Amino acid sequence: MSATLFGMITILATIAANAAPISFQSSERQTALMELYTSEGCSSCPPAETWLSQLKASPGLWNDFVPVAFHVDYWNYLGWREKWSSKQFSDRQQNYAAVWGSENIYTPEFVLNGKEWHDWFGLREAPGLSGTKTGILTVSYEGTNHWQPSFIPATGGTTAYEVYVSLLNSELSSDVKAGENEGHHLNHDFAPLNLMKESMADKGGEFQGNFPLDTNLKETAGRLALAVWVTRAGELEPVQAVGGWLPKP
C-alpha cells in the first residue's frame, strides 16, 4: 500500500472517529455507477474530466448517480508517472473489455452501470435515476472503527453478493511536465485513492459486509467522499450504488 493511499484511509477513519455517526443510503431504485477511465498522459481526457467535474453541482449527485474517475497507469510510459494512477484501475478496465469481448481499451472511456457509454458528450446532466428496483444499499459508521455496508435486495433468491468500497478525492490539481499534456495544469474530481472488495454475508436476506480503517491521521488536500456499490458475486456490473461527501476533520 502506498503512503498516499495509507494516508487517505487513515484520514477517513479519523474523520469518522471524531464525528457523529455517518450513514449513506440509496433508494430502492437503482443508483447509477458512472465510471470514467482517464489519465493525465492522455490529451483527450481533460474534456471528459471537465464534464465529470461539473456534475459536482448536480442535484442528482449521490442520489441518482455515483461518479468514480479511475486513473489508469498505461499512459505512464510517455514519461509522466501520474500519482493517482494505478495498475489495479487499468486491470479493472481490461476486465470490462474481456466481458464485452472487446480487444482494446482506451481513454477517456465512460462505463455506466457496467456498460460502455458514449452519450455523455454534450449532456449538461448525468442520466436520471433508473426506474428499476434493485434494493436498498446502506453504508454506515457508528464509532467502532469499521464501516458497515448492508444490502437488502428488492427480490429474494440465492444470489451471492460482493461489495466494492472506494475513497474518492476531489478538488485536486496537477502541473503535468511530460506526456501528451505536458505544460498543462489539470484539475481532477472523484479520483479513487483505493478500491477494496469483499464478500457479503447473508443474514436472513440482508447482505452485510465490514471493513476496518486505521485511525492514524495523515495530511491531505482536497475533498473526500465515499463510493460503495454491490455486484453479484464474480461479476463487474453493479446492482446498486451509494455514496456521499465526508465531513471535513
pLDDT digits (tens, 9 = 90+) for 3-15: 444 444 555 555 5
Query: For residue 138, how many other CB atoms are within 10 A of its CB?
Result: 17
> What is the spatial distance between Cα 45 and Cα 48, in angstroms, rounded to a whole number?
5
- Structural domains counted in the chain: 1
Residue that wins the pLDDT comparison between 241 and 126: 241
**In whole numbers, what is the pLDDT of the chain averaged over residues?**
88
Model pTM?
Answer: 0.89
Supply the range of the domain harboring residue 233: 3-245
> What is the spatial distance between Cα 52 and Cα 208, in angstroms, rounded to a whole number?
31
> What is the spatial distance between Cα 96 and Cα 107, in angstroms, rounded to a whole number?
14
Residue 103 falls in which region: left (phi positive, over 0), alpha (psi -120 to 50) or beta? alpha
Partners of 168 in beta bridges:
192, 225
H-only helix segments in the chain: 3-17, 45-53, 87-100
Q: Does residue 230 have a pLDDT over 50? A: yes
Confidence class of residue 249 from pLDDT cuts 50, 70 and 90?
A: low
Per-residue b or e along 67-79, where b marks 16 or more CB atoms closer than 10 Å to that residue's CB: bbbbbbbbbbebe
Grid cell 433468491 is found at: 157
